[in-house]
Amino acid sequence: MSLEEQVVVKKEAAVAIISLNRPKANSYYKGFLENISQSIKDASADAAVKVILINSTSEKFFCAGADIKIFSSNTTEQNAEMVVAANQVCKAMVSSKKIIVSAIRGHVLGGGLEMIMACDIRLAAQGDYLIGLPEVKLGLMPGNGGTPRLIDLIGASRAMELLVTGNSISPQKAYDFGLFNQLYAKKDFEQKVADYVNALAQGAGQAMAAIKHYVQEHKGMSLQESLEHEATLVATLYNTFDAKEGFQAFVEKRSPKFK
């Protein structure tokens, strides 16, 4: 399979869909990661796109993290380059002004879990697959944002347990912990995901981008700094087409038609 075939990209209206397609587990290496990063950057640069959906063509795996065979045969320098490439994928997600949604219906482990934690929203299917960060079982720890992002999403106590044991959890437990935003029945999963992202793509793109920016930037700020930052961001939206359309639609008791 060529490198280009390992990441499949298509666009449906205001949604860009990036599908991981490297059988059997979407285990990654440097070239695969660079392809994912570029696909995210390209979709982020498309003015017509509001939402980027990242999914897998496999029903068994979303992503099992680094390809251990390649990782174990690499030099230390080559593995360092792979880690940088993995960092760039998450950086592309976080820096994008689009809302990044991941759709998970199979095993998501190690670097794969780090990848979806960098997304803004995580939609998952019910099932028997595993979610976890097993790096400690290899004598390592997460190196692509897995530690701080897991703490932010599920709390320090639960994160500590998963990180130091390397044990995996079920989709239901991941949802209960707050790691997944939605958990759908497997038979309805694809339709539910499509409905979710299509509804999101009808939203006010500039406002969603401002909200994403605020959620990321407010961490570490004092309450006063956070309030001032929020006020600065909302001030940039008052004179936009979407704000005027939103108010007008409310007055006219109709659904808004955002750009």
Q: Catalytic: which of 4, 5, 77, 135? A: 135
Residue 245 bears catalytic tag? no
Residue 12 bears catalytic tag? no
Give the per-residue SS3 of the chain. CCCHHHEEEEEECCEEEEEECCCCCCCECHHHHHHHHHHHHHHHCCCCCCEEEEEECCCCEEECCECHHHHHHCCHHHHHHHHHHHHHHHHHHHHCCCEEEEEECCEEECHHHHHHHCCCEEEEECCCCCEECHHHHHCCCCCCCHHHHHHHHHCHHHHHHHHHHCCCECHHHHHHHCCCCEEECHHHHHHHHHHHHHHHCCCCHHHHHHHHHHHHHCCCCCHHHHHHHHHHHHHCCCCCHHHHHHHHHHHCCCCCCCC
Q: Catalytic: which of 114, 161, 228, 252? A: 114
Catalytic residue numbers, as ranges: 114, 135
